[in-house]
């Protein structure tokens, strides 16, 4: 009898509980009270975008760097990740010019094209659009600043080999900061123009000294530095120049767009030199660490890290996470058509997960900054 009475009581209690929850679910006021905190939440503001491109950086280059660094990278702090389809308009395997133009303009184009479509028509780049909307803009690279990747964000030429024409295109913009190599394309020119003098006339601080560049705290800056690998004396140049660019651009109250390229991951893989590839990957990752520090403290900066393509067809055949030993083999001296990784951190980072074409990165960045190409 006691068991039967106990079961009856449980049924009554259960019935009351069901009635209570049904009443709450049908009560509009109760629903409103429960949902109001979510309704009041707004999407986090994105004021700045830093796009970081590891030229030639495929998954194996990333993991080779991680292994050599005893199992960790700053890159691992990324909140979201995905993969990018890299083909150009005329080839399954892209080059840096077409790959970067896709990121910069949202259009597939032919290999070798700089900021133009397949018919050689100039396309507005995200850097130019950001500039038109009052944002500060910048480019930093460990290659010549006229090299394919940085060039595709600011120049419009039918061929990546037109380095003097690309250099002249810098003068057609109001970019705030650019730092890289290639001073000769601005000074020792076939047309006799002295673009360094013209930059100074446009109120740029022009410098070819790293210590001087690192100390610039205001105004426009054009920095020209030697192009050399990390182990041959470049050291922490990328980290310093990136910090300088961020500090200058961050003075704009409306925000900024900055592209930073770890250019020579690609060169090491072209040479099938695993040590060269790894040292450049780790240099790029140290810069990522500094950029993440800024983004975390700022709270309104979206950081996106990706590659234009993979280089070398690198396969890791052995290694040791404790000792940092890495063994690998390259299958080509050129690029490959494999998917490349994309990582994101900061407000809006969730928009960059998934698998999609490189052109979608432009759209996602434009939406993040609420920019209109028209």
From the list 60, 78, 88, 96, the catalytic residue is 96
Neighbours of 366 (CB within 10 A): 17
Q: Are residues 225 and 181 in contact, defined by beta-carbon separation less than 8 angstroms? A: yes
Q: How many CA atoms lie within 13 A of 96 on its CB side?
A: 26
Round to whole Å and give the CA distance between 286 and 290. 7
Round to whole Å and give the CA distance between 214 and 231. 20
96 is catalytic: yes
Give Cα separations from 223 to 104, 182, 212, 353 (angstroms).
Answer: 22, 10, 9, 34
DSSP 320-372: ETTTTEEEEE-S-SSEE---EEEEEESTTGGGG-EEEETHHHHHHHHHHTT--
Q: How many CA atoms lie within 13 A of 169 on its CB side?
A: 24
Q: What is the dihedral of CA 118, 122, 123, 124, to 10 degrees?
A: 170
Q: Are residues 80 and 352 in contact, defined by beta-carbon separation less than 8 angstroms? A: yes
Catalytic center residues: 96
């Amino acid at each position: 009898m006691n068991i039967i009475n106990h079961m009856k009581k449980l049924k009554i209690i259960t019935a009351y509980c069901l009635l209570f929850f049904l009443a709450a679910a049908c009560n509009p006021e109760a629903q409103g009270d429960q949902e109001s905190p979510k309704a009041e939440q707004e999407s986090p503001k994105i004021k700045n975008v830093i796009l970081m491109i590891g030229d030639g950086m495929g998954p194996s280059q990333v993991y080779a760097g991680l292994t050599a660094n005893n199992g960790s990278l700053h890159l691992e702090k990324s909140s979201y990740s995905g993969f990018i389809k890299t083909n150009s308009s005329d080839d399954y395997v892209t080059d840096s010019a077409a790959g970067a133009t896709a990121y910069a303009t949202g259009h597939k184009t032919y290999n070798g094209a700089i900021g133009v479509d397949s018919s050689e028509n100039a396309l507005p780049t995200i850097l130019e659009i950001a500039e038109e909307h009052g944002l500060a803009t910048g480019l930093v690279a460990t290659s010549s600043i006229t090299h394919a990747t940085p060039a595709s964000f600011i120049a419009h030429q039918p061929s990546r080999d037109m380095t003097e024409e690309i250099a002249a295109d810098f003068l057609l913009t109001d970019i705030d900061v650019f730092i890289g190599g290639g001073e000769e394309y601005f000074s020792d020119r076939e047309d006799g123009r002295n673009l360094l003098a013209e930059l100074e006339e446009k109120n740029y601080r022009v410098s070819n000294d790293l210590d001087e560049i690192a100390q610039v705290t205001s105004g426009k800056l054009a920095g020209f530095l030697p192009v050399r690998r990390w182990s041959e004396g470049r050291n922490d140049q990328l980290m310093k120049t990136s910090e300088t660019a961020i500090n200058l651009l961050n003075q704009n109250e409306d925000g900024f767009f900055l592209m930073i390229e770890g250019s020579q991951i690609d060169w090491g893989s072209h040479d099938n030199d695993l040590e060269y590839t790894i040292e450049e990957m780790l240099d790029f990752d140290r810069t990522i660490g500094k950029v993440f520090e800024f983004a975390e403290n700022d709270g309104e900066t979206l950081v996106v890290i990706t590659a234009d393509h993979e280089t070398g067809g690198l396969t890791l055949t052995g290694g040791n996470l404790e000792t940092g030993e890495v063994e690998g083999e390259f299958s080509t001296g050129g690029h490959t058509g494999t998917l490349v990784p994309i990582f994101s951190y900061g407000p809006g980072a969730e928009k960059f997960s998934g698998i999609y074409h490189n052109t979608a990165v432009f759209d996602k960045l434009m939406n993040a900054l609420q920019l209109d190409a028209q």
